[in-house]
Structure 1
Amino acid sequence: MINENRTIEVRAASWIPSVYFAMGLPFVVIAQASALMYKNMGISDAKIALWTSLIMLPWSLKPLWSPILEMFGSQKQFVVATQLFTGVTFVLLAFTLPLDDFFKYSIALLGLIAFSGATHDIAVDGVYINTLTPAQQSKYIGWQGAAYNIAKIVSGGGFVFIAGELEKQVGVVTAWMSVMGLYGVCMVLLGLYHIKFLPKIQNANDKVKSFKEGVDVLFDVVKTFFNKKFVMWYVFFIILYRFAEGFAIKIAPLFFKASIEEGGLGLDTSEIGLIYGTFGAASFIAGSLLGGYYTSKIGLKKSLFKQALMFNIPFAVYALLAFFQPENLWIISLAIVFEYFGYGFGFVALILFMMQQITPGKYKTAHYAFASGIMNLGFLLPSMMSGYLSDWLGYQMFFIWVLIATIPALLAAKLVPFSNKTND
């Protein structure tokens, strides 16, 4: 058994970072990078926030089709297929940007990418949960979070920097066509890599042989999910944990891009990419890794509230930036270092909470998909409202509101009960 576990751990190192990088890339493109692209192409903040949030709905609805996926293939097959599909769709999206109705067509294709990405997430989490023991899940949760966060940095940092530099040379449209093409190439290469390195496991639900049986399983998944002890506590907790983030993450890059006269920081696209892709990258990864090891060392029950604080309180930097509007790039970068470190450190606690407190039972993969769908709903709803709210309040008062929105998350983290033992 020891040798078998050691073999699993060795193999896990070859696919966990890459597969969670592939999970994060399309999500962050839609949640963040696309907002800058549309801002530079003349779309209003309110329209950007609404539509780039609305098309993220598949990440909340994915439990509806998770029980029937295994009728059509293994979890590995779905991981590879969705990565390839997402890559091709990014390339198609690039060709829509010069069109007169580019917003309509590109949003539709981003919607397809969102559906593919949500399906990909179900399969990836299924491989992770069904391959690794609870102890190994805790050990690798930091690496999982780091890889996901690297995708955020590559997307919102490195590729945005490239787009900003290209904008100066070839114009906005051609620049973002090139970057969307790069996203596509990355996803295709990841799909080809995982054909070889991703483990193939036995499907967790061999009983599903027809659509009717899949629907029956779905009802059983929902029933058994809501029969779990403390489940309503858990639903409120996972919705509230990312509530403030939902408001902040969509508006932050738009705030950086807006002129000083509009209440923003007046940065150009490449400066935004540079901040996220350098200082933000290092702090994000460090926060994720340290958060994973910290949770593993003292136990989730003891660490949860502290990590919730680390996740939410750093959003204060945006309020400070909005009030003082510093022009020094180092000061702005330092603020992002603090916020990204806290984000990485605190996010791993939420993921591990869902794995250890919600998923145990008959339908581990489906219940995790259900929980993560609810979590994304908590992110989606405030994100949809964020553009209208920031237009109404202005950036200063909007980021004060973000701080107020952290209070329910902190209360929930302090009071949420535990039904399953952790490594306390």
Structure 2
Amino acid sequence: MDQTNKQSWTDSLKLYTQRPVLLMLSFGFSSGLPYLLVFSTFSFWLREAGVNRAEIGLISWVTLFYGLKWLWSPLVDRLPLPWLSQHLGRRRSWMLLAQTGIVIGLVGMSTLNPQNSLIAVSLFALVVSFSAATQDIVIDAFRIESAPEHLQAAMAAAYMTGYRLAMIVSGAGALWLAAIFSSAQSYQAHAWQLTYLCMAGLMAVGILSCLFAKEPNVARRGLTSITLVRQFHRRGMPLRLAGFLAWSYSALCEPFIDFWRRYRWVAVLILALISVYRIADVVMGVMASAFYVDMGFSKEQVASITKVFGVIMTLLGTGIGGILVNRLGTMRILFIGALLTAGTNLLYSYMATQPASLGLLTLVISADNLGAGIATAAFITYLSSLTNVAFSATQYALLSSIMLLFPKFIAGFSGYLVNWMGYNHFFTFTAILGIPALILIVLLARLNLSSSVTNDKR
């Protein structure tokens, strides 16, 4: 569907040994750790605490911050933080602030029991989600600015490797810890509270990486345009107000104007693809943990198979995806990933009709996570190729937010859908949701957008 400069397999593998690529492992870990703690691990905790599926689905809306981060990404992109930015640089200062917020939110969750403090624990989950989304804005910009384009696919794969390793820790590790801290098979709040406290401590990996990383050396546009300041000032505005309006236009408007100017009407197709690419995976994922509990699998079984073996398969898929993107092109692998993501949901539909079986669970998890890894590596590379480095944080945040906003909103009703149609039909429904993405990829590939680079991109 598209063409790329082909490399030998040895050259492709060597990309993973370069310093910018290796650094993304640790940042990927820092980014991936909080996600499951407000998503599937949190859902498992809530379900074991007796919270009903409809409420779990609605509470999953705390992760909508991942889909709304474009709203404050211009501030993260352009606004320096007092003192911190002078000593750490703009990217690392925002990263450290966001990581501190994650720690505060996780510690807050670790002091509460959903059985009698459901609203309070959900509010702390909101703090974690907002801070984690802010951290993602910074890390995405850091990745785009830290290396040339030919390293971006490898950096995306390394980032996802770190991300998925963190998901082993916050998924399987959290379930194992909750099981270890429990003195009985029944629900015990203190076991989950200690687990979340341990997860807060593991954010030290991201904090230390932030402190020892090197700020990207990128020539930045001025925060305000002197011409704009003069234009506003000539209209009778005070100089300070003129400067604020010029800064606001530069930070809030220019990134979006730049995107529409480069892609024109085709931007509608691009945004449509981004908004539906992960919908089959996200809508299904909210109910996955509740499904495992309702099927009768224990925390240890879910931890071993879905959170460890499954993540290993995702890592394998991510590595394969990064190499395939370099050799075959982004759009081809993007299509294959979307097909695998939607198709493997049908395996969950079949499993819902069968007695609980660890063998079947392993098979389904293997296929699902392998396809998800391939899809993710291709999708991150595709999003990175769409951004202008002059507005990297804002534009990537916009694109990655659109990726999650609509799916997360629909996922909030997933509990009601399961209660209405049952797990079998629900998983089939989520597979059907993946069809529009396949159609849009074909349309965009025919327009050859993936290989076109505009003169004003950098």
Q: When the two structures are superposed, what TM-score results if normalisation uses the length of structure 2?
A: 0.83
Report the counterpart of residue 285 of structure 1 in structure 2: 315
Report the counterpart of residue 64 of structure 2 in structure 1: 57
Unaligned 5+ residue runs, structure 1? 1-5, 259-264
Report the counterpart of residue 18 of structure 1 in structure 2: 26
Deviates more, 1:67-76 or 1:113-122: 67-76
1:420 to partner: Cα distance: 4.6
Matches within 5 A, 1:244-393: 244-258=280-294, 265-325=295-355, 327-356=356-385, 358-360=386-388, 362-393=390-421
Distance 1:343 1:199 in 2: 31
1:150 to partner: Cα distance: 2.0
- Amino acid across the alignment from 1:303: I
Distance 1:214 1:256 in 2: 50
Is 1:40 the equivalent of 2:48? yes
Distance 2:270 2:378 in 1: 13
1:21 to partner: Cα distance: 1.3
Distance 1:117 1:67 in 2: 16
Counterpart of 1:143 (choices 115, 136, 158) is 158
- Amino acid across the alignment from 2:288: A
Paired residues of 1:164 and 1:270 also in contact (CA < 8 A): yes
Paired residues of 1:153 and 1:276 also in contact (CA < 8 A): no
Is 1:131 the equivalent of 2:159? no
1:62 to partner: Cα distance: 1.4
Counterpart of 1:237 (choices 273, 278, 282) is 273
Counterpart of 2:201 (choices 185, 196, 207) is 185
Paired residues of 2:15 and 2:151 also in contact (CA < 8 A): no
Is 1:176 the equivalent of 2:195? no
- Amino acid across the alignment from 2:349: A
Q: 1:65 to 1:211 in 2, by over 3 A?
A: farther
Distance 2:394 2:193 in 1: 36
Counterpart of 1:27 (choices 25, 28, 35) is 35
Q: 1:405 to 1:337 in 2, by over 3 A?
A: same
1:225 to partner: Cα distance: 2.5
**Deviation per CA, 1:1-29, whole angstroms, max 9, x where unpaired?**
xxxxx999743244200101111121222
Report the counterpart of residue 3 of structure 1 in structure 2: none
Q: 1:151 to 1:321 in 2, by over 3 A?
A: same
CA RMSD in angstroms, aligned pairs only: 2.4
Distance 2:339 2:402 in 1: 21
Paired residues of 1:62 and 1:369 also in contact (CA < 8 A): yes
Q: When the two structures are superposed, what TM-score results if normalisation uses the length of structure 1?
A: 0.90
Is 1:215 the equivalent of 2:248? yes
- Amino acid across the alignment from 1:12: P
Deviates more, 1:43-52 or 1:185-194: 185-194
Q: 1:412 to 1:45 in 2, by over 3 A?
A: same
Paired residues of 1:62 and 1:118 also in contact (CA < 8 A): yes
Matches within 5 A, 1:80-99: 80-97=96-113
**Deviation per CA, 1:62-88, whole angstroms, max 9, x where unpaired?**
112212223223111111221132123
Report the counterpart of residue 399 of structure 1 in structure 2: 427
Paired residues of 2:16 and 2:22 also in contact (CA < 8 A): no
1:329 to partner: Cα distance: 1.2
Report the counterpart of residue 128 of structure 2 in structure 1: 113
Distance 1:94 1:192 in 2: 22
Give 1 or 2 for the bigger CA radius of gyration. 2
Distance 1:203 1:365 in 2: 14
Q: 1:162 to 1:240 in 2, by over 3 A?
A: same
1:257 to partner: Cα distance: 0.3
User: Residue 95 of structure 1 aligns to a residue in which SS?
Assistant: coil
Paired residues of 2:91 and 2:215 also in contact (CA < 8 A): no
Paired residues of 2:342 and 2:433 also in contact (CA < 8 A): no
Distance 2:214 2:367 in 1: 34
- Amino acid across the alignment from 2:66: W
Distance 2:163 2:220 in 1: 25
Q: 1:103 to 1:333 in 2, by over 3 A?
A: same
Distance 1:212 1:174 in 2: 51
1:384 to partner: Cα distance: 0.9
1:127 to partner: Cα distance: 0.8
Paired residues of 1:55 and 1:110 also in contact (CA < 8 A): yes
Paired residues of 2:172 and 2:304 also in contact (CA < 8 A): yes
